[in-house]
A = this chain, B = another copy of it.
Amino acid sequence: MSIILGLDPGSRVTGIGVLNVDRDQIRHVFHGVISASSEESFPRRISKIGIDFRKVLERFTPDVVVIEQIFLGKNADSAFKLGHARGVCMYESVVAESEVREYATRLVKKRVTGSGAADKLQVQIALERLLGLKLQGSAIDASDALALAYHHAIEMEVERKVNKMHLNNPLRSLR
């Protein structure tokens, strides 16, 4: 006996279909969808899919999960794969109750190096100076990640200063 779960994932609606196969006998067990409200933020929607799908897996304990194989061009293909990794990280972030923020690379590079067109090595060198630590020899992905964190830290600082300014001069905040 074997339980097969067919899956049609989407960021709004995810289809679920469950069959039970016993020798040559195929029996319908369940079909339905997981819906994620488009009013929610994208990370929350992705996490709702994860949380609900976990419940579906616990309920049916499928032997196999079957999904559509997707063929895309070379560039779209790598974006698609990146989407998978990103979705999982977003999901876990929301589960861990961390806020999720996104910034464009160009802005991060500009903040760290002064130029939105800086390369990854220039970002690493600028970060070394800004944070006072050695990064050369570290993975470039790790310093890219640090640059994102640094960018947000400065954004927070700026926000705090603006709020403080408004507190000190209430008229200004009303303009």
Taking beta carbons and an 8 Å cutoff, which residues of A are in contact with B?
2, 4-11, 13-19, 21, 24, 26, 28, 31-33, 42, 46-47, 49-50, 53-54, 57-58, 61-72, 75-76, 79-93, 95-96, 98-105, 108, 131-133, 135, 138-154, 156-157
Q: Which of B7, B68, B92, B138 contacts A50 (CB 8 A)?
A: B92
Select one of B17, B64, B82, B92 contacting A143, CB under 8 A.
B17
Cα separation A100 to B84 with both chains bound (whole Å): 14
Once the chains bind, are B83 and A87 in contact (CB under 8 Å)?
Answer: yes
Task: Please name 26 pairs of A and B residues whose Cβ atoms are closer than 8 Å in the assembled complex, sorted by A.
Answer: A2-B156, A6-B146, A8-B148, A9-B82, A10-B82, A13-B139, A16-B145, A18-B149, A31-B138, A49-B85, A50-B88, A61-B98, A64-B100, A66-B102, A66-B103, A67-B89, A67-B101, A67-B102, A68-B108, A69-B102, A69-B103, A69-B105, A79-B80, A80-B80, A80-B82, A83-B87
Measured between C-beta atoms, what is the minimum distance from A9 to chain B in Å?
A: 4
A66 CB contacts on chain B under 8 angstroms: 100-103, 148-149, 151-152
How far apart are the CA atoms of A115 and B96 in the complex, in Å?
Answer: 45
Q: Which residues of B contact A61 (CB under 8 A)?
A: 96, 98
State whether A86 and B145 are in contact (beta carbons under 8 Å apart), knowing that A31-B138, A32-B139, A61-B96 are contacts in the complex.
Answer: no
